[in-house]
Chains A and B, each alone.
Chain A
Amino acid sequence: MSLRLAGVGLTHANGQVALSEIDLQVARGERVAIIGPSGAGKTSLLRLLATSLQPTGGSVQLLDCQPWQLGNRARQTLRARIGLIHQAPPLPARQRVVTAVLAGRLGQWSWPKGLLNLLYPLDIDGARAALQRLDLGEKCFERCDQLSGGQLQRVGIARVLYQAPELMLADEPVSAMDPVLAAHTLKVLNDDAQQRGATLLASLHAVDLALAHFPRIIGVREGRVVFDLPREAVEPAALEALYANEQLQPSHSEAPTTGSVQIPRC
């Protein structure tokens, strides 16, 4: 079992409930897309799975460990086996791309090796290979502030590809890319997970991409899991209910709109 959540809740310090009563089991090697409207809790769920947020209730089991019952050292070892792709990649502007990618393995390296790598990149070939899979090989020695938003996002993905974690989490990994590039990038992520037998969970705002690339779809709304189905079983009615927005509904006096909801595409 790659991850198991039971009755997990998350309440922020300001009292806002981000997640409640989440029960979720994902087997090793599964590939899952998380969809839902803005503010549904997709990012919170992924950050919780990345041990970047501690749940306020329930139990979390990741890669057969209970992260919040481990000591600091053991938790850092567990964290090195989990990779999170951030929606806005947190890369320092002055850092070179090669350094940013190689930083993916800092958790697996000793700290002297990490510092040595800063003086001279120890695995240029490895970084270039990860970048080449995302068509960024020629940007290896450029600085992060010279890249566009979509390129930066791909550097963030290359870092996690280089990390090669057993549990790969991706928060809107293709939100800044054009449709062709987005499809290619999701294919690279899925192929990588399949080849290594890794588990992949990605949140996506484009439903068609989720249905095209992932065998299992989880719908999240208002901090709860609304449905958890294989993609063949996801009905248009379920999607409509997931994205229905009472506050944006046209008033009754206006001309009636067509029945189908506009599902956002990338």
Chain B
Amino acid sequence: MLTHLQRDPATLPRLLLTALVLLVLWPGIQISELNLGVLLQADNAANMGRFLADFWPLAHSAEFLQLLGRATLETLAIATAGMALALLLAVPASLLASRALSLSAAHRQGNPSAWSKALRWPARGLLIVLRSVPEIVWALLFVRAVGLGPTAGVLAIAITYSGMLGKVYAEIYESVDPRPARALLIAGSPRLAAFAYGVLPNAAAEMLSYSVYRWECAIRASVIMGFVGAGGLGQQIDLSMRMFAGGEVASMLLTFLLLVLLADQLSRVLRERLL
């Protein structure tokens, strides 16, 4: 018996896994036609240079700044409203999809019964459907349904992001220490209470950090959706680009940078103060 264990039994699986990753990566590069050389060709570089040269000086007329402020507020509003709607759906769906609150897992050493696993599939399926269609497609759809404007952006973010948040929340619940919640379930606690007392204290920091990061992503997504007419900064960038107003584009990109910086600081402050 001892002779079998003289080598680390994990060696072979690890080697195979490394080989597999390399095997998958190579066709990936081939199929995506990645060729960094085109960036360095003379006329391509000159085109990009001209575009970038227009960025200076930044546009800063009072009229433009007013427009910019309004578009920024609209972008923030789209992202925040979209996230709020997404959370309404994501939290209940994540509770249904996660195995962390399985009653049968509590007395089966963490392995839920087949029946309990099967019942989680509809919730998982719903989350997959919600996030499988990109938000830009939803935005195009809703622009047709409710007309040009921020409403389309809010709905598109709400749908896609509820799928993403629900999936990741469910996985966070499963990745934290399961013993506190199991101990409570074994003492007769209802599942929702076992979640609030056993899982949430350990999961809250990670959930908060992911949610703020998603809010940051929602800001970016709302900008992209602006290009198809869903309001906000994106719509302004689209207009400025068409008018070759490089200075205006640059000002708006700078605003982006500030927004992301804001989201980053918010996440840091929340994690420090609340937890």
A contact set with B: CB distance below 8 Å: 12-13, 50-54, 72, 76-84, 86, 90-95, 99, 103-104, 106-111, 114-115, 118, 163
Interface pairs (14), CB distance under 8 Å: A51-B186, A72-B103, A77-B188, A79-B187, A84-B186, A90-B198, A92-B197, A99-B197, A103-B184, A104-B187, A106-B193, A110-B190, A111-B193, A163-B187
B258 at the interface (CB under 8 A from A): no
B201 touches A80 (CB 8 A): no
Tell me the interface secondary structure of chain B in the complex.
helix
For chain B, residues 219 to 275, give those with C-beta under 8 angstroms from any C-beta of chain A. 275
Q: How far is the CA of A92 from the CA of B180 in the complex (A)?
A: 7
Q: How far is the CA of A44 from the CA of B44 in the complex (A)?
A: 71
Q: Which of B18-26, B106-114, B143-151, B167-175 contacts A (4 or more CB under 8 A)?
A: B106-114
B186 touches A106 (CB 8 A): no
For chain B, residues 93 to 130, give those with C-beta under 8 angstroms from any C-beta of chain A. 103, 106-109, 111
B contact set with A: CB distance below 8 Å: 103, 106-109, 111, 177, 179-180, 182-190, 192-194, 196-198, 201-202, 204, 275
A92 and B192 contact, Cβ closer than 8 Å, known pairs A79-B186, A84-B187, A106-B184: no
B107 touches A51 (CB 8 A): yes
Query: How close is B191's CB to chain A, nearest CB, in angstroms?
Result: 8
Query: How close is A130's CB to chain B, nearest CB, in angstroms?
Result: 15
Q: How far is the CA of A87 from the CA of B189 in the complex (A)?
A: 20
**Closest chain B residue to A86 by CB distance?**
B183
B202 touches A93 (CB 8 A): yes
Beyond the given A50-B186, A76-B189, A94-B275, please list 17 additional residue pairs across the A-B interface where CB-CB is below 8 A.
A13-B109, A76-B103, A79-B187, A79-B188, A80-B187, A84-B187, A90-B198, A91-B180, A92-B201, A93-B202, A94-B204, A106-B189, A107-B187, A111-B190, A111-B192, A114-B189, A115-B196
Task: Give the interface centre of B103, B177, B187 by most chain A CB atoms within 10 Å.
Answer: B187
From A92, A93, A109, A115, B198 is in contact (CB under 8 Å) with A92
B179 touches A118 (CB 8 A): no
From B103, B182, B193, B201, A95 is in contact (CB under 8 Å) with B201
Q: How far is the CA of A86 from the CA of B194 in the complex (A)?
A: 17
**Closest chain B residue to A79 by CB distance?**
B188
Tell me the interface secondary structure of chain A in the complex.
loop
B187 touches A106 (CB 8 A): yes
A115 and B193 contact, Cβ closer than 8 Å, known pairs A84-B187, A92-B180, A94-B202: yes
Q: How far is the CA of A83 from the CA of B204 in the complex (A)?
A: 27
A94 touches B183 (CB 8 A): no
Query: How close is A201's CB to chain B, nearest CB, in angstroms?
Result: 15
Q: How far is the CA of A53 from the CA of B111 in the complex (A)?
A: 12
A90 and B179 contact, Cβ closer than 8 Å, known pairs A72-B103, A106-B193, A111-B192: yes
Query: How close is B190's CB to chain A, nearest CB, in angstroms?
Result: 4
Q: Which residues of B contact A12 (CB under 8 A)?
A: 109
Q: How far is the CA of A80 from the CA of B188 in the complex (A)?
A: 4
Query: How close is A9's CB to chain B, nearest CB, in angstroms?
Result: 16
Q: Which residues of B contact A91 (CB under 8 A)?
A: 180
B197 touches A95 (CB 8 A): yes
Query: How close is A156's CB to chain B, nearest CB, in angstroms?
Result: 9
A107 and B189 contact, Cβ closer than 8 Å, known pairs A90-B177, A93-B202, A99-B197: yes
From B182, B187, B198, A83 is in contact (CB under 8 Å) with B187
A109 and B107 contact, Cβ closer than 8 Å, known pairs A50-B186, A77-B188, A84-B186: no
Q: Which residues of A contact B188 (CB under 8 A)?
A: 76-82, 106-108
**Closest chain A residue to B193 by CB distance?**
A114
Q: How far is the CA of A72 from the CA of B193 in the complex (A)?
A: 16
Q: Which residues of A contact B201 (CB under 8 A)?
A: 92-95
Q: Which residues of B contact A13 (CB under 8 A)?
A: 109, 111
Q: How far is the CA of A191 from the CA of B120 in the complex (A)?
A: 45
Query: How close is A123's CB to chain B, nearest CB, in angstroms?
Result: 15
Q: Which residues of A contact B204 (CB under 8 A)?
A: 94
Q: Which residues of A contact B111 (CB under 8 A)?
A: 13
Q: How far is the CA of A103 from the CA of B182 in the complex (A)?
A: 13
Q: How far is the CA of A108 from the CA of B107 in the complex (A)?
A: 20
A106 touches B190 (CB 8 A): yes
Q: How far is the CA of A111 from the CA of B185 in the complex (A)?
A: 12
Q: Which residues of B contact A80 (CB under 8 A)?
A: 187-189
